[in-house]
Structure formats: C-alpha cells, structure tokens
C-alpha cells in the first residue's frame, strides 16, 4: 500500500517498472539481439577491467620502487577502477529485461555501487593532485608523508564514497515526488542529479587548474636547473611522473564529462536534449576509463611495464 503523508503520497511499495513507465524510460520485457550484444560486450569489458587493475595493484605491492605515497594513491585508484569493474559487472546481471524484476532496494544497490566507484575515483585523483602539488612545490620527487597517513587518507576516501553512494537510498530520491523523477535514473530525484553533476564537474575543473599550475611551475623550474646529470635525471623523473598522472586525469575527465553533463541536463529537466538517446553510449565511455589507466601505466612507466611482465611471465626483470 502506498504511504500517505500530510503533504504527499510515497510509493514505497511500487515496482521499479512503475517508476520507469512514469519517467518515460520503457523497459523491454523480452531479450532483443541488441540486449545480448550490450550485455556480452559489457561483461567482456568488465573482466578486462578487473584483471588489468588487479595487475596494477599486484605490481605496486610487488615492486619496492613503488612503495611511496604517490603509488599507494595510484594503487587505490586502481582499486576504485577494480570496484568500478565489479559494479558494472553487477549492472550487466541486473539490466535490460532483468530490471523489471528488481526490488526498489536492489535498484538502489545497483546505482549506489556505480556512484560509489565514481566518487572513489574522483577523491583519489584529488588526493593525487594535492600530493603532487605539495611534493613538487617542495622540490621533492616523493612525498615525506608517512604510510600511516596515506592509509588514513585512503580509508577516508572509501568512507566518504560509500556514504555518498548511499545518499539516494537514505532519502534523496523521488519516491514521494514523482514529478521530480529523473528520466535516466527513474528513482533518483532531479535535484540530486544536479547536485551530483555540478559537484563532480566542479571537482574536475579544480583538478585541471591544480595540474596546470604544477606544469607551469615544473617547466619554469626545469629551465633554472643546471645541466648536472643528477639534476637532469631528477627533472626527467619528476616530469615523466607528472605526465603519467596528468594523462590519467585527462582520460578520466574525457570519459566521464559527457555522462555527467547529460546527467546534469536530465536533472535540469531538458526535454529537447534526448538524454535517453545518448545514455548508453556515454555509459560505455565512462566504463572504458577503468581499463585505460593500466594501459597508461604500461606505456608511461618502464618499471611498471617490467613488473607486469614479471607477474605474467614469471621472469625476473633485468636491472
């Protein structure tokens, strides 16, 4: 039975399909060829994401050259990407015609897992940006931050991510306000999507600004350094590491910005934007970010590539 309040009616006992029909996002009750293709490709991508990020985490754990704060944070980013792969794999088993069979609780869990993985990635990238800013402006290669401090930061990242992923299920939804339901995520409140989109896009801009400032500083500082071999190697190492983390940030912004923009447009109630037309494409683009990072590590970091070979082939890398 629907719950009556003094001002409105809450639809806590309605099916997920009820909210999808109300929002205009109809679900097919049978499997089409397109559904099989999407789920098959999605599952394949998820397994690649899970395997490749396990490889990155294994390499950071195995190679003592990576036992520094920056690499612990990048390892936690790989953990967030791994969690993203697991979240999307869970989505693949609860999408298409399966969506109709979900309870409200199961639907919120499905969406909450994806939201948690995104927040974890964003917070990790922000932590990496702060660490690089502090380290480079102090003319260091690696931060002097203690391992304990790094792990406290990592725990805080996951605590905040989980809480943020639970926010819609804890009350910021549209079960008591059907007029404010999203089209793309029919049980989410449009106001929540606006908050979500603006918060993440603002974070992206801040990180881009921080990295731009670091790059300008590194370039100016590198011109002032002498041609001494030790200083030249230090400069090259710093610049290469900066390029790697900047490529990771750039890839993340490129993959996630279209999806966040379309979420924001949906939250603002843009009826001419045809958000459902682009939804699946932008979801695939966002998902693909999680396997780009291991590729970036492989091409940008010789030690990382060498450690990958050691793990996969059992060979000891040449010194």
- Domain positions in the chain: 16-313
Task: Quote the pLDDT of residue 167.
Answer: 93
pLDDT digits (tens, 9 = 90+) for 280-296: 788 878 878 887 888 88
Which is higher by pLDDT, 144 or 71? 71
Task: Quote the pLDDT of residue 7.
Answer: 61
Query: How far apart are alpha carbons 294 and 139 in whole angstroms?
Result: 28
The rounded mean pLDDT for the chain is: 83
| Closest-CA residue to 66 (of 297, 293, 235, 248) | 297
317 band by pLDDT with thresholds 50, 70 and 90? very low
> Has residue 227 got a pLDDT over 60?
no
172 contacts 189 by C-beta, under 8 angstroms? yes
Asked which of 121-130, 142-151, 214-223 is least confident by mean pLDDT, the reply is 214-223
Which is higher by pLDDT, 83 or 233? 83
Task: Quote the pLDDT of residue 271.
Answer: 79
Q: What's domain 16-313's superfamily in CATH? A: Rhodopsin 7-helix transmembrane proteins (1.20.1070.10)
Asked which of 32-41, 137-146, 163-172, 226-235 is least confident by mean pLDDT, the reply is 226-235
104 contacts 187 by C-beta, under 8 angstroms? yes
Task: Quote the pLDDT of residue 58.
Answer: 92
Asked which of 112-116, 131-135, 224-228, 244-248 is least confident by mean pLDDT, the reply is 224-228
4 band by pLDDT with thresholds 50, 70 and 90? low
pLDDT digits (tens, 9 = 90+) for 68-123: 888 899 899 999 999 999 999 998 888 888 888 889 999 999 999 999 998 998 89
> Has residue 183 got a pLDDT over 80?
yes
Which is higher by pLDDT, 140 or 90? 90
Task: Quote the pLDDT of residue 231.
Answer: 56
* pLDDT mean over 191-217: 86
86 contacts 50 by C-beta, under 8 angstroms? yes
pLDDT digits (tens, 9 = 90+) for 21-72: 888 887 777 788 877 887 888 888 889 999 999 999 999 998 888 888 888 9
Whole-number percent of the chain with pLDDT over 70: 89
* pLDDT mean over 198-220: 83
> Has residue 157 got a pLDDT over 80?
yes
> Has residue 230 got a pLDDT over 70?
no
235 band by pLDDT with thresholds 50, 70 and 90? low
Task: Quote the pLDDT of residue 162.
Answer: 95
53 contacts 294 by C-beta, under 8 angstroms? yes
């Amino acid at each position: 039975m629907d719950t009556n309040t003094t001002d409105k009616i809450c639809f806590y006992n309605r099916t997920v399909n009820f909210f999808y029909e109300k929002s205009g996002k109809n679900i097919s009750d049978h499997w089409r060829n397109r559904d099989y293709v999407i789920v098959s490709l999605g599952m394949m991508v998820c397994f690649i994401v899970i395997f490749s990020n396990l490889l990155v985490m294994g390499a950071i754990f195995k190679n003592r050259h990576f036992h520094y704060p920056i690499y612990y944070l990048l390892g936690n980013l790989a953990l967030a990407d791994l969690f993203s792969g697991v979240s999307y794999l869970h989505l693949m088993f609860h999408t298409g015609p399966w969506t109709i069979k979900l309870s409200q609780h199961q639907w919120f869990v499905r969406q909450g897992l994806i939201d948690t993985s995104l927040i974890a990635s964003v917070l990790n990238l922000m932590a990496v940006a702060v660490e690089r800013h502090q380290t480079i402006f102090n003319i260091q290669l690696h931060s002097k931050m203690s391992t304990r401090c790094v792990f406290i930061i990592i725990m805080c990242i996951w605590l905040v991510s989980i809480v943020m992923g639970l926010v819609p299920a804890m009350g910021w939804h549209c079960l008591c306000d059907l007029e404010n339901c999203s089209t793309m995520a029919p049980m989410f409140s449009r106001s929540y999507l606006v908050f979500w989109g603006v918060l993440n896009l603002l974070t992206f801009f801040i990180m881009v600004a921080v990295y731009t400032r670091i790059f300008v500083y590194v370039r100016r500082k590198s011109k002032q350094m002498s041609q001494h071999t030790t200083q030249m190697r230090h400069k090259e190492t710093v610049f290469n590491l900066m390029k790697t983390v900047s490529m990771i940030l750039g890839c993340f912004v490129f993959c996630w910005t279209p999806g966040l923009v379309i979420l924001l447009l949906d939250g603002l109630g843009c009826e001419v934007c045809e958000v459902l037309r682009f939804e699946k494409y932008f979801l695939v683009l966002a998902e693909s970010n999680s396997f780009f990072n291991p590729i970036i590590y492989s091409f940008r970091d010789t030690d990382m590539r060498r450690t990958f070979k050691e793990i996969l082939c059992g060979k000891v890398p040449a010194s």
